[in-house]
Structure 1
Amino acid sequence: MPQHVTEKDVRDIATYTRIGLTDDEVSQMTVDLNEIIESLAPITEYDLDGVEPTFHPIGALSNIMREDEELGSFSQETALENAPKQQDGCFLIPSILGEGGDR
């Protein structure tokens, strides 16, 4: 079986994607990737001359989302009903920057 991907390629990809791989994992990943690439070899046997590339598998896809509609909302009091802490009509949350206290 030809080798399309080397262990160096796998290490480079792992470094680029910040995935830590052991030496055993690099070896196994190299074998796996080469087997995957080799399994796609029959695709190259098709005569695709004159076949236009497709850019989306569904074809003429259009936006299927609903129209934006302005709906009524709830009051500030309702929004704050279940807030553990509130102050001056706003949520009061713990500080996350190490300054302590609530903000």
Structure 2
Amino acid sequence: MPLSKEDVAAIAEYARFHLTDKELDEMTDYMNEAVRLLQPIREYDLEGVKPTYQPIGDLSNVMREDVVDDHDRALDLKDAMHNAGSTHDRYFRVPSILGDEEEA
């Protein structure tokens, strides 16, 4: 069932948009085209399919604890900082991307 000009005018009023008569005609055509493009989705057999609100289902947290699990795998601080262009104590120094700080 296509949207009428009155439907689109009501939507525009609800959204607090002022549309001229020409804009109302264009928007009615545009919205009806959008509805038409979505029509194939309505043809899927969804009997018994539960709504999904989370695309990964019941999975709530996929992150592991951030702990060192094997000291042999941890990189020594000196080795980690060896090739850094600039450092401060145990941190890498990088140029500001915001441009509001002095060069370090």
TM-score by length of 2: 0.51
Counterpart CA distance in 1 for 2:27 and 2:19 is: 9
- The percentage of aligned residue pairs carrying the same residue is 46
Matches within 5 A, 1:7-46: 7-46=5-44
Provide the aligned C-alpha RMSD in A. Answer: 2.1
Gaps of 5+ in 1: 65-103
Following TM superposition, by how much is the alpha carbon of 1:15 offset from its aligned partner in structure 2, in angstroms?
1.2
Displacement of 1:33 in angstroms is: 0.5
The structural deviation recorded for 1:44 is: 1.9
CA distance in 2: counterparts of 1:21 and 1:31, whole angstroms: 14
Runs of 4 or more off by more than 6 Å in structure 1? none
Which letter maps to 2:40? P
Summarize the alignment of residues 60-71 of structure 1 with structure 2, pairs less than 5 Å apart.
Answer: 60-62=59-61
The runs of 5 or more residues in structure 2 that have no matched partner are 64-104
CA shift digits 1:21-63 (9 cap, x unpaired): 110000000001011101111112211112111012343345x
28-37 vs 42-51, which moves further: 42-51
Distance 1:40 1:34 in 2: 10
